[in-house]
């Protein structure tokens, strides 16, 4: 089963993902950007305010392709629960926002289309819902994506993704205290894993 955590910068994904590691010691915990040289290239781009958005998309997508073949697919093949801090929806939401002022028409559909041929969509996605102002303040507004106006575009892309696939997403109110958010995420993960195994048993 593939579970992903998504949301704006500073929404608390990593805080929740770290807490889950104690509860699910046998699960495979992973993240995007990864720690490989592909991920390092992505992080280098994040630190540069003057990159080409299409080049960024393909850098992030290369990191995802490597992540899929090296970590996600093997762990799923072993029957593991995989919990990823950011995954495909980050590209759909962020790169579609950064491509908005380019020659690419319908960026969100374009980015999804690139992934369609090769990716493995998540079984469920927890969306940590926080407003762009809170997100930017928590994240520290240190890179080009952590600006309120940009995060507002990203947020509206996430909302489009949720509208398109409401059955895949679980929204968690991430404006609450860290303890309350962690509790809500842990309850949600427990429910999703139980439901997934229930579905397996029905097959």
Ligand X SMILES: Nc1ncnc2c1ncn2[C@@H]1O[C@H](COP(=O)(O)OP(=O)(O)OP(=O)(O)O)[C@@H](O)[C@H]1O
Ligand Y SMILES: Cc1cn([C@H]2C[C@H](O)[C@@H](COP(=O)(O)O)O2)c(=O)[nH]c1=O
Report d(CA 182, CA 17) in Å as an integer. Answer: 9
Q: Does 17 bind ligand Y (CB under 6 A)?
A: no
- Does 126 interact with ligand Y (rule: CB under 6 A)? no
Of the candidate residues 5, 11, 17, 60, the single one contacting ligand Y (CB under 6 A): 60
Contacted entry of ligand X, ligand Y, none for residue 92, CB cut-off 5 to 8 Å set by kind: none
Contacts of 156 (CB under 8 A, 6+ apart): none
Please report how close the Cβ of residue 146 comes to ligand Y at its closest, in angstroms.
6
Residues 161-200 that bind ligand X (CB under 6 A): 174, 177-178, 181
> Is-contact 85 13, C-beta < 8 A?
yes
* 115 versus 138: smaller Cβ distance to ligand X: 138
Per rule CB under 6 A, is residue 145 in the interface with ligand Y? yes
x/- mask, ligand X, residues 127-156, rule CB under 6 A, reads -----------xx-----------------
| Residue 47 or 74 with smaller CB distance to ligand Y | 47
For position 21 contacting ligand X by CB under 6 A, the verdict is no
**By CB under 6 A, which span of 10-18, 44-52, 101-109, 193-201 interacts with ligand X?**
10-18
């Amino acid at each position: 089963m593939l579970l992903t955590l998504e949301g704006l910068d500073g929404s608390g994904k990593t805080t929740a993902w770290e807490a889950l590691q104690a509860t699910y010691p046998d699960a495979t915990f992973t993240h995007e950007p990864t720690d490989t040289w592909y991920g390092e290239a992505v992080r280098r781009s994040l630190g540069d305010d003057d990159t080409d958005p299409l080049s960024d998309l393909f850098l992030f997508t290369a990191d995802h392709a490597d992540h899929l073949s090296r970590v996600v697919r093997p762990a799923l093949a072993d029957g593991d629960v995989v919990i990823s801090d950011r995954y495909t929806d980050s590209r759909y939401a962020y790169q579609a926002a950064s491509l908005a002022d380019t020659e690419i028409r319908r960026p969100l559909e374009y980015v999804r289309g690139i992934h369609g041929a090769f990716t493995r969509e998540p079984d469920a996605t927890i969306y940590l819902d926080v407003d762009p102002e809170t997100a930017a303040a928590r994240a520290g507004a240190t890179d080009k994506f952590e600006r309120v106006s940009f995060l507002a575009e990203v947020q509206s892309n996430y909302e489009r993704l949720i509208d398109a696939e409401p059955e895949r997403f679980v929204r968690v109110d991430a404006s609450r205290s860290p303890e309350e958010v962690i509790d809500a995420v842990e309850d949600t993960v427990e429910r999703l894993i139980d439901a997934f195994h229930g579905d397996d048993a029905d097959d």
